[in-house]
Chain A
Amino acid sequence: MTDTSKIRNFSIIAHIDHGKSTLSDRLLEHTGTITDREKKDQFMDKMELEQERGVTIKAQTARLTYKADDGITYVFNLIDTPGHVDFSYEVSRSLSACEGAVLVVDASQGVEAQTLAHLYTAVDVGLEIIPVLNKIDLPSADPERVKEEIEETLGLDSSIAVEASAKEGKGIKEILEAVVKYIPPPSGDKNAPLKALIFDSWYDAYRGVVVQVRVFEGEIKKGMKVRFMATGKEFELDEVGVFAPGPVQVKSLGPGEVGFITAFIREVRYTKVGDTVTSVDNPTKEPLSGYKSAKPMVFSGLYPVDGIQYENLKDAMVKLRLNDSSFTYEPETSLALGFGFRCGFLGLFHMEIIQERLEREYSLSLITTAPTVIYKVIKTDGEELYVENPSNLPDVQAIARIEEPYILATIHLPSEYLGAVLGLCEARRGVQKDINYITESRVLLTYELPLNEVVLDFYDKLKTATKGYASMDYEPHDYKTGSLVKLDILINGEGVDALSLIVSKEKSYYKGREVAKKMKEIIPRQMFDIAIQAAIGTKVLARESIKALRKNVTAKCYGGDITRKRKLLEKQKEGKKRMKQIGNVELPQEAFLAVLKID
Chain B
Amino acid sequence: MSKCNYCDFNSVASPHLFLKTPNSAPLKAFFGKSRTHSEDEYIDALTLELRSLLNNQEELKTREVTSIYFGGGTPSMLLPGSIAKIIYEIEDTFEMKNKEVEVTLEANPETIDTERLSAFKRSGINRLSIGVQSFDDSVLKILGRQHSAKRGADSILQAREVGFTNIGLDLIFAVPEQSLNSWASSIEQAIELNTEHISIYGLTIEEGTPFFSTLSEDSGFKLPSEESEVLMYQTAIKALKKAGFNHDEISNMSKTGFESKHNLRYWRGGDYIGLGSGAHSYLSSNPDGEKSKVWGRRWQNEADIKKYIELAKASNPLRQKVEDLNYDDALAEALMLGLRLPDGIDVRAFSKRFGITPELALTSKAHAKHGLTHTKDGFFSLTDKGILFSNEVF
Chain A residues at the B interface, C-beta cutoff of 8 Å: 527, 549-563, 565-566, 569-570, 572-573, 576, 584
> Across the two chains, which residue of chain A brings its CB closest to B71?
A559
Bound Cα distance A572, B390 (Å): 12
- Which residue of B is nearest A528, CB measured? B370
Q: Which residue of A lies closest to B337 (CB)?
A: A562
Q: Which A residues are in CB contact (< 8 Å) with B233? A: 551, 555
Task: Verify if B392 is at the interface (C-beta below 8 Å from A).
Answer: yes
Supply 22 A–B pairs (Cβ within 8 Å), ascending by A: A550-B227, A552-B389, A552-B391, A553-B250, A553-B387, A553-B389, A555-B233, A557-B251, A557-B263, A559-B9, A560-B16, A560-B266, A560-B281, A561-B280, A562-B298, A562-B333, A562-B336, A563-B300, A566-B333, A569-B332, A569-B336, A584-B369
- How far is the CB of B295 from the nearest CB of chain A, in Å? 13
Q: In whole angstroms, what is the CA distance A557 to B274 when docked?
A: 15
* Closest chain A residue, CB of each to CB of B267: A557
User: Which residue in B9, B204, B251, B336 is a CB contact (below 8 Å) of A566?
Assistant: B336
> In the complex, are the beta carbons of B390 and A553 less than 8 A apart?
yes
Contact call A554/B230, Cβ cutoff below 8 A: no
Counting residue pairs across A and B whose Cβ atoms lie within 8 Å, the total is 93
CB-nearest residue of chain A relative to B388? A551
- A550 to B250 Cα, complex, angstroms: 16
Residues from chain A with Cβ under 8 Å of B390 in the complex: 552-554
* B 364-394 binary contact with A (CB < 8 Å = 1; else 0): 1010011000000000000000011111101
Q: Beyond A566-B336, A569-B391, is A551–B230 a contact (Cβ under 8 Å)?
A: yes
Q: Report A308 CB to chain B, min CB distance, Å.
A: 15
Report if A553-B333 is in contact (Cβ < 8 Å); known contacts: A527-B366, A560-B266, A561-B280. no
Q: Which residue of A lies closest to B366 (CB)?
A: A527
A559 to chain B, nearest CB (A): 5
A559 touches B363 (CB 8 A): no
B binding-site residues for A, Cβ under 8 Å? 7, 9, 16, 28, 71-72, 200-202, 204, 226-227, 229-230, 233, 250-251, 263, 266, 272, 274, 279-282, 298, 300, 321, 323, 329, 332-333, 336-337, 363-364, 366, 369-370, 387-392, 394
| Given contact pairs A550-B388, A573-B363, A562 touches B204 in the complex (Cβ within 8 A) | no
Query: Which residues from chain A contact B337 at a C-beta distance below 8 Å?
Result: 562
Which chain A residues lie closer than 8 Å to B272 at the CB level?
Answer: 560
Contact B280 A562, beta carbon cutoff 8 Å: yes
Contact B200 A561 (CB under 8 A): no
Report yes or no: B251 in contact with A563, Cβ–Cβ below 8 A: no
Q: Which residues of B contact A553 (CB under 8 A)?
A: 202, 250, 387-391
15 further A-B contacts with Cβ under 8 Å, apart from A562-B266, A562-B333, A572-B391, are A527-B366, A549-B226, A550-B227, A551-B229, A551-B388, A552-B388, A553-B387, A553-B390, A553-B391, A555-B204, A556-B251, A560-B72, A562-B337, A563-B323, A573-B364
8 Å CB contact of A556 from B202, B332, B370:
B202
Q: State the CA gap A560–B267 with chains docked (Å).
A: 10
Closest chain B residue, CB of each to CB of A551 = B388
- A578 to nearest B CB, angstroms? 14
A560 CA to B233 CA in the complex, in Å? 23
A554-B391 Cα distance, complex, nearest whole Å: 7
Do residues B204 and A554 form an inter-chain contact, with CB atoms below 8 A? yes
Find the residue from B200, B263, B298, B337 having the highest chain A CB count within 10 A. Answer: B298
* Shortest Cβ distance from residue B67 to the other chain A in the assembled complex, whole angstroms: 12
Q: Which of B200, B227, B263, B389 contacts A555 (CB 8 A)?
A: B200
How far does the alpha carbon of A549 sit from the alpha carbon of B230 in the complex, in Å?
A: 11
Residues on A with beta carbons closer than 8 Å to the beta carbon of B204: 554-556
| Closest residue on chain A to residue B263 by CB atoms | A557
- Flag if B266 contacts A557 (CB, 8 Å): yes
Residues of chain A with a CB closer than 8 A to B300's CB:
561, 563
Residues of B within 8 A of A555 (CB): 200-202, 204, 233, 250-251
Which residue of the partner chain, among B7, B298, B332, contacts A570 with CB atoms under 8 Å? B332
CA distance A527 to B226 in the complex (A): 13
Given that A527-B370, A570-B332 are known contacts, is A560 also in contact with B389, CB under 8 Å in the complex?
no
**Inter-subunit contact B298/A563 (CB<8 Å):** yes
When distances are taken between beta carbons in the complex, the residues of chain B under 8 Å from A527 are 366, 370, 389, 392
**Contact present for A550 and B230 (CB under 8 Å):** yes
With the chains together, A570 CA to B333 CA distance in Å?
11
Which residues in B have their C-beta under 8 angstroms from that of A559? 7, 9, 71-72, 280
Most buried by A among B200, B323, B332, B388: B388
- Rounded to whole angstroms, the CA-CA distance of A369 and B272 in the bound complex is 51
